Structure formats: structure tokens, C-alpha cells
Amino acid sequence: MKIIKRIANLDMPIPRRKRVAAYCRVSIDEELNMHSLSTQVDHYSKLIKGTPGWEYVGVYADGGFTGTRSNRPGFQRLLDDCESGKVDMILTKSISRFARNTVLLISTVRHLREKGIPVRFEREGIDTISEDGELMLSLLAAFAQEESRSISENVTWAIRKKFKEGRINQYQPLFGYRWNGKEFNVIPEEAEAVRFVFQSYLDGRSPDQIADMLNRKGVKPIKGGPFLYQSVWAMLRQEKYTGSAILQKTFKVDHLSHKSVKNHGELDRYIAEGSHPVIIDQETFDEVQKEIERRKAVGFRANQGISFSCFTSLLKCPLCGKSYRRRTHKHSATGSSYYSWICSTKLDKSAHECPACNLPEKVLLELTADVLGLKDGVDERLVKERIKEIQVYEHELLFLLSDGGEERRTWKDASRNAVYERRRIHG
């Protein structure tokens, strides 16, 4: 008699539990409603952990971020973990929680589907792995994007209505003031520092010099740290210190990118006078603005206090290794003076001994200011602190910085620089 026995398949792998993650998002104005971020996180944590066959990966969350853009920290971490093979399935409350931008939504879902990772949208009942999932998703995503556009237009209308009424929409921290929820209050010691900044600028000092003086006095910005050129420069241009506020300086291009651009007349601007206490009187503020424009017109010679000797030891000839020296010239037509820097060997001997190029002082100041990140003049102290050496080539300046870095700035045709390289290497 034939006997048949079933052979147990001992090589069959044990089914692996599905690794499941969830994504949650709320915008700023939703953080207090019933579907708040904490509620969503708690809901999905319990759901995933309580479902047999599922392994809890985590809940990725973004609070205060718009769904029209992809640069959300939690969203990006989720996608990175999907790429790394850590996630098998994603749960989310609705299409609008995942993304309000139709193109972003469809492209993301398609990419995840190619990797075998479905996204389940709880409210709409859509699983992106199903055959009709993408069709339904496309239709509903379009509605979500249109809803986002409508919300954005309503918010924009409300903001512009406030501007017309002279009401400030956002209360950003401003050195010298504190917002108590109803009004701005002056901080006396900070207001004194603001007045010092404005007067120092009128006395001829540069923003870098003023920042250094504030730091020596121990004055700290609102967020701590030292004062920098940029913070002093912004202070000098801040009309709010006069007790007035210019409204609608910027506007958002569209509801998808949320990119803010300067308002150059595309939209009406408004000025709310007497909206808060005065720190700088209008006359002083106007004088400072005129001085800013004067220095711009004068250019990089605006700061007459600089000692040009700081460049004598820095400027080096790459051909002979000697330092450059400053020389004065006269315009034959106008009789006015101008300056250039010339290799010492070339000056003392001849151009035959060293054919190094002459460097116009205007070029030197412009490029040095650019390397140091300055806008209205070269600060001698910063030159000494940050620059170790400047090598003068035929078409460019090579800045060797004190921190070991290098910066190159072009100022002439590069084709002639090969001559310098050959002479430097072969002597």
C-alpha cells in the first residue's frame, strides 16, 4: 500500500511584521483645535502599536508648517527613512495633512509606490497601492490645493485690511522695545544703545566700528551673542525707532511657494505714525539716511579714518615676494589725485627686474570690502584681524585669511595670468 506523507517546509521564512509609520501636520492657526498635533500623534501611536502584524516605526510630525511645501522637517525625515528601507507603510489623517500642493502630492506618492510603500489616507479612504487610488487622489488633491488657495487669499485679505487701518500685523522682536501683548514698551538701557548707534554713525564711524564699541561696552542683542555689522546696519535703517511703522514692505508671491519679496510698488504701502513710543527723533533719523546715501555716493573712500599702512605688509608680489607700496598720481586733465599700489622691486629697480602689475587702490578697497562682507567702507581693524596676506596677480587678488581659508577675486582678464604662474614657479 502506497503511503503519502506531507513534508513540512522548514525553510519557509517567518512572515515579518509590517513596519508602519504615520505622518501628522497642523498649521499655526490649528494648534488649539480638536485635531491638534498631540491628538493626532497619540491616535496613530495607539493605532499602530495595537494592530497585530504591525511594527511601530514612529509618528513623524510638523507643527506650524504649511502643506504646500516639502521643506518640512518631519516630512523630510519620513521620506529619508522610506529611502533607507525603514518603512513599509504610511498612515495619515487626510490628503491636506500630507500635502496641499497637487504636484508635490502626486510625485511623492508615485515615488513611494515605486518603492512598494503605500500611503493610506484615513478620511478619504484611499490606499495608494490600489488601482483606482491615484485617480481618486488626483481629484481630491486638486480640491485640497484649491482650498489652500482660498484660505491663503482670505488670510491675505485680512492682513491687507489691517495695513489699511494702520495696524501692525506681526510683532517681531526689536532691540529697544518689548511687546507686552497690547503695546510696545521702551527698554531704557537698550534705547540708550540705539541712540549711541545713530550718533556714532553721524560722527563718522562705520557699522563695524560701532558694533565693536557696543561689544566692548557689554551690550547684548535680544537673542544674545555679539553685535555684528548686519545688526547695526539694520538698526540704522529701522524707521520704527521714530515711533512710526511702514506697513507692507514685503508680500508673498503665491500660496504655493510662500516666497516673500520686497514691495517695490506692486502693492500699496502704508505708514502708521505714532503707533508706538519714539526712541530716535525724525530729524536725527533723516540725517542718518542722508549720511548713508552720501557714503554710498562717495564709495569705498567714505571711511576716511582708515590707515592704509595696514595694506603695506599684506600686499605681496607673487613674482619676487616683495611687498607693495602706495603711490599718488595726478590726472593730467583734472589735476585730481588717485592712488595705486606697486611692487617694491618694480619701484626701486625697474619693470625689467619685476614686471608685476600695478593695483588701483579703488579695486583693492572694493575687493577687500567684498571679502570681509562690508558695504560702506574698509575697516582697518578687520583687515588686520581677518587677512593674513593678499597676493596680487595679473587678473585676480588671492586673499589668504587668518583662519586658513582662501578667497579669490577677479579684477582683470584671466588670460594673462599664465605669465605670473610661470615666473612664480620657475623664478
Assess if residue 241 is contained within a domain: yes
Query: What's the mean pLDDT in 218-231?
Result: 86
* pLDDT number for residue 426: 47
Q: Are residues 142 and 57 in the same domain?
A: yes
Helix (H) or strand (E) holding 259: none
Q: Are residues 26 and 138 in the same domain?
A: yes
Query: What's the mean pLDDT in 125-147?
Result: 63
Q: Which of 270, 298, 326 is the last residue of a domain?
A: 298
Assess if residue 246 is contained within a domain: yes
Q: Look at residue 169 and tell me whether its pLDDT is greater than 60.
A: no
CATH code of the domain in which 249 resides: 3.90.1750.20
Band (pLDDT 50/70/90 cuts) for residue 265 is low
Q: Give the number of other CB atoms < 10 A from CB of residue 411.
A: 17
Q: Look at residue 399 and tell me whether its pLDDT is greater than 80.
A: yes
Mean pLDDT, rounded, of the chain: 77
Band (pLDDT 50/70/90 cuts) for residue 65 is confident
Q: Give the predicted TM-score (pTM) of the model.
A: 0.41
Q: Are residues 22 and 143 in the same domain?
A: yes
Q: Look at residue 133 and tell me whether its pLDDT is greater than 90.
A: no
Residue among 269, 356, 288, 363 at smallest CA distance from 320: 356
CATH code of the domain in which 23 resides: 3.40.50.1390
Q: Are residues 143 and 202 in the same domain?
A: no
Q: Are residues 243 and 186 in the same domain?
A: yes
Which residue has better confidence, 158 or 331? 331
Q: Domain count for the chain, please give it.
A: 3
The dihedral through the CA atoms of 149, 151, 155, 157 has a sign that is: positive
Assess if residue 7 is contained within a domain: no
Assess if residue 160 is contained within a domain: no
* pLDDT number for residue 193: 93
Furthest-apart CA atoms within the chain: distance in Å: 126
Q: Are residues 326 and 356 in the same domain?
A: yes
In the beta sheet, which residues pair with residue 180? Answer: none
- Please name the amino acid found at residue 251: F
| Cα gap 162→239, rounded to integer Å | 19
% pLDDT > 70, the chain: 68
Assess if residue 221 is contained within a domain: yes
* pLDDT number for residue 113: 83
Burial 119-154 (b: 16+ CB within 10 A, else e): bbbeebebebbeeebbebbeebbeebbeebeeebee
Assess if residue 395 is contained within a domain: yes
Q: Which of 255, 270, 298 is the last residue of a domain?
A: 298
Cell of 229: 555689522
| Cα gap 300→312, rounded to integer Å | 18
- For 188-198, the pLDDT digits (tens) are 999 999 999 99
Q: Are residues 316 and 291 in the same domain?
A: no
Assess if residue 233 is contained within a domain: yes
The boundaries of the domain holding residue 291 are 177-298
**Looking up cell 613674482, which residue turns up?**
319
Q: Look at residue 266 and tell me whether its pLDDT is greater than 80.
A: no
Q: Are residues 294 and 313 in the same domain?
A: no
Assess if residue 42 is contained within a domain: yes
Q: Look at residue 377 and tell me whether its pLDDT is greater than 50.
A: yes
